Amino acid sequence: MDKKNTMPVIGVIKARECPLCGHHEVGVVTVNGDFYPLRPGTCIQVLDSSIEPEPKQTPQTSDTFINNPACFNVPPDLTRPPVDNEKFSALKPWLPSLFMSVKRMRLKYGVLIDQTIDDGQVDAELYASAYLKKLEYLVEKETFTGITVLLDKFFSAPQLASENPKTVVMNMWQELDEVRKPVEKMCAWLNNPADDILNGMMEHDVDNHQELPSLDTVKEELQQLRLADFLGLL
């Protein structure tokens, strides 16, 4: 019998990007640093007795799985449905004019609201709602494994991932101060629009102020924003 197939692999579950093609994967890292990817059907033994089982989820249908062409040996991964860009046709970007000339601030604090809403009508409740929608849109563009990797990379919290984008957003909102802070700061200004509050929010070590972009440009920036880039801003 081949000894290689009988020796158990002991290590810690980690998420990483494949060094060959860059796809996200989860596996076991041994004390020697060897990475063993977890594949569907792999038999494992959990030694941490503190881990509690979670509620069972409804099995996914075969229609939710596709092959990743980036790497031949990559198992199918859960993917999100294509984002319907038509829904953005009735939206416009909103953020304080002071932030408009700094791309980092546009991406961090900018949100999309209904184009029929006057800019002066934006209040704390509307902004918070638009921010959560923004976060949900970013999550929708990622695979389940990709979300797990990003939450582990930025917050060491892969357990917040879920196959449901709304659940991911609520988990992040409830558990991560970094996710709530932009909303708390912006709502504080909306409730008390004083210049010193906005100036305090401005990150003075960011890229230099540029010419004011058009609203279409800002909207396109927000639509093209990816979850990894947004979490990096937080």
**pLDDT value at residue 62:** 32
**pLDDT value at residue 31:** 77
The residues, ordered by sequence, that sit 6+ positions from 59 with a Cβ below 8 Å of its Cβ are: none
Q: Is the dihedral of CA 55, 61, 62, 67 positive or negative?
A: negative
Q: pLDDT digit of tens for each residue in the chain (234 aa)?
A: 444 556 677 777 777 777 776 666 778 888 788 888 877 667 777 766 666 666 554 443 333 333 333 333 333 333 344 445 566 778 899 999 888 888 889 999 999 998 888 888 889 889 999 999 999 999 998 888 889 899 998 998 888 888 889 999 999 998 999 999 999 999 989 998 887 888 888 766 455 556 788 899 999 999 999 999 999 998
> Taking the complete model, does pTM exceed 0.85, yes or no?
no
**pLDDT value at residue 181:** 92
Nearest to 74 by CA among 33, 114, 110, 20: 20
**pLDDT value at residue 54:** 60
**pLDDT value at residue 58:** 44
Q: Is the dihedral of CA 107, 113, 115, 117 positive or negative?
A: negative
**pLDDT value at residue 33:** 82
**pLDDT value at residue 78:** 37
**pLDDT value at residue 135:** 94
Long-range contacts from 189-195, C-beta under 8 angstroms, 24+ separation: 189/96, 190/122, 190/123, 190/124, 190/127, 191/124
Nearest to 113 by CA among 97, 98, 128: 128
For residue 25, the cross-strand partners are: 16
Where in the chain are the domains? 8-50, 85-233
**pLDDT value at residue 111:** 94
Crossing angle between the packed helical segments 165-175 and 124-140, to the nearest 10 degrees: 130
**pLDDT value at residue 60:** 38
Could you read off the pLDDT of 141-181 as tens digits, one per residue? 888 888 989 999 899 888 888 888 999 999 999 899 999 99
**pLDDT value at residue 130:** 92
Nearest to 93 by CA among 223, 215, 221: 215
